[in-house]
Structure 1
Amino acid sequence: MSLDFSKVENNPVPLIAEKHNPNVAFVVYRNKNKNVVVYAARLLEDGTLDPENPLDVYWIMFEQDGAPREELNMIERNTAYGATVKPREGHPGEYEVTLTSLKDRVIYLSIVDGKPVGRGSINGQDNCSLERVFVYSTTSWGMPKVQHIEIHGKDASGNAIMEKKLP
C-alpha cells in the first residue's frame, strides 16, 4: 500500500529514496493524482555528479500497479516538469537547475555528505535544501489551472521551511 501523494502532508521523498532511487534530490507532486515527478542525481562510480547528464527527471506512476517509471513526454518537459541544467560557474561539481515551472528560481544541485541536494531560496531564505514542491490545481474549461505551489525544504539550520507561491 502506498501513501496518497495527492495530499501535501504525505511526503513522497522517503519512500522514493528507499524503494525507487536513493539519489532522489527533490520531487514535484500534485493534488491531481498520486503520481510523482522525480528529480534524481546521476552519479559516476566515484560518487560525483555525471557532468554529461547530472539530473534524471521522470515520473513514478503510483496510480499504476507496481508504480512503474515513465519518462516525461515533450509537452511535460517543455511546459511543466522539465529542467535546464548547466555547470555552476566557480563551483566545480555543482550544477544550476532551473525548473520549467519555476523559472524565477535557481536550484544548485550538488553532493553533500554523499547525498544529492538541491539548494536555493525558500521563503526569502538562501541556502535552503529543497525537498519537494506540491502543486495545487483545479480544472477550468478542461484545462488545469494552478491555484498555488508549496515549496518545502529545510533551512540552513535544518529546520522545516515552506513557501506558498501564487501563480
Structure 2
Amino acid sequence: MRYFFFIYSFFLSGQIFAQHGYPVPQKTANHLFYIQHSENKNTFVYDAIFANQGVLNDSDPVDIYRILYAEEGQKKPLTLTQQKFAYGLKISKIDKNIFQLHLVSYPAQKLTLKLNSNKNPIVQTKLNNKTITLNRVFLKQKDGTSGLSTKIEYMIFYGKDSNGKSVQEKLVL
C-alpha cells in the first residue's frame, strides 16, 4: 500500500508540475539554470562567466541568452525589453566569487551565485525554508495577459536540496 501511495503521489505531482514536451538546453561547464514559461517553449539560459580559472568575472558574472525553440532553436541575446522588464538580472557582488542576484521582474526572490566545493558555479535560492541549488524555473503566465502587462500566476523552482535530492518548490504569486 505504501508503494502504491508513493507511485500515485509521484504521478500526481508530475501532472501538476511537469512541462511535458519542453526541450532541455544543452548543459555547458558554466551552466547555472534556465527559465521556461507557459506561452511557448523558448528558453532563457543563464551561464557563469569566468575572468580566469576559478574566478568569476567581477563586473559581469552571468551570460544570459535565449534559445528560440519555437523558431528552429537559434541562440540569441535577450531583447532590451526582456533585459529590463523580465529575464534580466540585478547583480551585487557580496565577496570573491559570491554574488546576490534577482530577476528584474521579481526582486523579492534572492538568488546567490557562488562556486561549490568543486569550483563549479551554482545558483542557490531559499524557498519554503529549503535551500535549493537551482537547475530550472518554470513560469505559468496568467491567462489573458501578455506583453508588458504579463502577469505570472506561479513559479516552480527545480533543483537539488542540501542532500542532493531532487526537489521542486512552487511559489504562487
Deviation at 1:136, TM superposition (A): 1.2
Matched, 1:81 2:92: no
Amino acid at match of 1:84: K
Structure with higher helix content: 2
For residues 110-161 of structure 1, what are the alpha-carbon distances to aligned partners after superposition, in whole Å with 9 as ceiling and x for unaligned?
A: 12213210012022213x2011110111441655432211111111111122
Corresponding position of 1:97? 101
Matched, 1:54 2:61: yes
Structure with higher strand content: 2
Q: Count how many residue pairs are aligned between Structure 1 and Structure 2.
A: 153
From the superposition, tell whether residues 103 and 47 of structure 1 become closer, same or farther in structure 2 (CA, over 3 Å). Answer: same
Amino acid at match of 1:119: Q
Corresponding position of 2:8? none
Percent same amino acid among aligned pairs?
24
Structure 2: 5+ residue stretches without partners: 1-17
From the superposition, tell whether residues 12 and 118 of structure 1 become closer, same or farther in structure 2 (CA, over 3 Å). Answer: farther
Deviation at 1:10, TM superposition (A): 5.9
Query: 1:122 touches 1:161 (CA, 8 Å); kept in 2?
Result: no
Deviation at 1:64, TM superposition (A): 2.0
The correspondence of residues 131-146 of structure 1 with structure 2, limited to 5 A, is 131-140=135-144, 144-146=150-152
The correspondence of residues 7-18 of structure 1 with structure 2, limited to 5 A, is 8=19, 15-17=25-27
Structure 1: 5+ residue stretches without partners: 1-6
Deviation at 1:27, TM superposition (A): 0.9
Query: 2:101 touches 2:112 (CA, 8 Å); kept in 1?
Result: yes
Instruction: Tell me the distance in 1 between the aligned counterparts of 2:126 and 2:23.
Output: 21
The RMSD of aligned alpha carbons is 2.1
Structure number with bigger Rg: 2
Instruction: Tell me the distance in 1 between the aligned counterparts of 2:137 and 2:21.
Output: 12
Instruction: Tell me the distance in 2 between the aligned counterparts of 1:110 and 1:163.
Output: 21
What SS is found at the alignment partner of 2:108? Answer: coil
